[in-house]
Amino acid sequence: MKMQFVRHALTVAIGGISAAAMAVNAQAAQEVSLGHTLSSTSHYAVGAQAFKETLEALSDGAFVVNEYASGALGGEREMIEGLQIGTVDVVITSTGPLGNFVPETYVLDLPFLFENYDQARCVLDSEIGDELLEKMSNHDLAGLAWSENGFRHLTNSRREVTSPADAEGLRVRTMENEVHQEAFRQLGARPTPMAFPELFTALQQGTVDGQENPITVIVATNFWEVQDHLSLTGHVYSPAAVLGSPLLLDGLSDEEREWFREAARASAEATRAEVSRLEEEGVALLRENGMTVNTEIDIGPFQQAVEPAYEIFTNQHGSEMLERVQEKASSC
């Protein structure tokens, strides 16, 4: 009887201690969700890992980051909405759907705006990039850092595309971005906006003939399984942004917020390095997997074909920011 009582008392005590320990842990480590649309082998996953390592190290484990890859939290538009209502904490996203929320960023989506990676990175790392990140707070978003998706190239299942005439009539999935859609209309293609998580199936089922994305994304998504031809059009630079939810960030101390910014900058740096690596190695990999890759594309006619998109853009959004970006780019 006595032993039984002691055993019972011990069980209760141990149960109490572990419940208390769990409560302390729960208080000590705040879980942070980080979402993106790409696979766990992608450049965004590399960036997510760098974010996680940096934030967890800087905060000494006070924050724990959980990565949700492959669109587990939805497409990019849905995730940006999630940031605004606090259902996700951090998102790595292309600027694809971002202009719907922060119209000031549309300028970055103009075709043939940047000539190369150095130029694009230099503009985004300048006061212009900082200003655009700050603008996001007017739209219930926290802009933490400019990361990278990469220069976009056209793939399709119908034919080799080396001139705008070849692209005519192709049903091309674009991002949910009015500037991109306009550019593809000008090119003579039939733009079909769609969220990324729906894209693979749409290509597989022939709902669309083609799509456009950087080498990194084409590799990370095994698009060779559903697309035969790749043309290195590099028709637009696709920035990515690391965004946070103001519902989380506004409640933090200045020091904690700075940890998030630092983690976002580390994430962007790691992602850019991975983009550069895959730009070097990706084309060979895509060829090995059976894609025909046209590397010698005469860009001039493409550039000319999409030129009217600029006027349509400035009519809607003015020319001031565009001129500033162009001026900065030429001095980079």
- Which pairing describes strands 171-174 and 190-193: parallel, antiparallel, or unpaired? parallel
184 half-sphere exposure, CB direction, 13 A CA radius = 27
* Piece of 93-101, 253-261, 276-284, 323-331 that binds ligand EAX (CB under 6 A): 93-101
Residue type present at position 324:
R
| Contact status: 69 vs ligand EAX (CB under 6 A) | no
| Minimum distance of ligand EAX from residue 38's CB (angstroms) | 6
| Minimum distance of ligand EAX from residue 192's CB (angstroms) | 12
Tokens linked to 156: 């399709």
CB of 69 within 8 A of CB of 44?
yes
Which residues are within 8 A (CB) of 146 and not within 5 positions of it... i.e. 6 or more apart?
A: 124, 125, 129, 133, 239, 240, 241, 242, 268
| Minimum distance of ligand EAX from residue 316's CB (angstroms) | 22
Q: Which is nearer to ligand EAX, 183 or 217 (CB)?
A: 217
Q: Residues 56, 67, 76, 182: which binds ligand EAX (CB under 6 A)?
A: 76
| Contact status: 210 vs ligand EAX (CB under 6 A) | no
| Contact status: 309 vs ligand EAX (CB under 6 A) | no
| Minimum distance of ligand EAX from residue 304's CB (angstroms) | 25
* Piece of 59-67, 90-98, 285-293, 295-303 that binds ligand EAX (CB under 6 A): 90-98
Bridge partners, 114 (sequence order): none
- Which pairing describes strands 210-213 and 171-174: parallel, antiparallel, or unpaired? parallel
123-182: contacts with ligand EAX (CB under 6 A): 149, 175
| Minimum distance of ligand EAX from residue 95's CB (angstroms) | 9
102-121: contacts with ligand EAX (CB under 6 A): none
Q: Which is nearer to ligand EAX, 58 or 195 (CB)?
A: 195
CB of 68 within 8 A of CB of 31?
no
190 half-sphere exposure, CB direction, 13 A CA radius = 6
Which residues in 286-295 are b (16+ Cβ under 10 Å) and which e? beeeebebbe
| Contact status: 96 vs ligand EAX (CB under 6 A) | yes
Which residues are within 8 A (CB) of 28 and not within 5 positions of it... i.e. 6 or more apart?
A: 61, 62
257-296: contacts with ligand EAX (CB under 6 A): none
| Contact status: 213 vs ligand EAX (CB under 6 A) | yes
| Minimum distance of ligand EAX from residue 173's CB (angstroms) | 8
| Minimum distance of ligand EAX from residue 255's CB (angstroms) | 30
185 backbone φψ class: left, alpha, beta (φ>0; ψ -120 to 50): alpha
Binding mask 182-201 for ligand EAX (x = CB under 6 A): --------------x-----
**What count of other Cβ atoms lies within 10 Å of the Cβ of residue 312?**
15
Q: Which residues bind ligand EAX (CB under 6 A)?
A: 37-38, 76, 93-94, 96, 149, 175, 196, 213, 217, 238
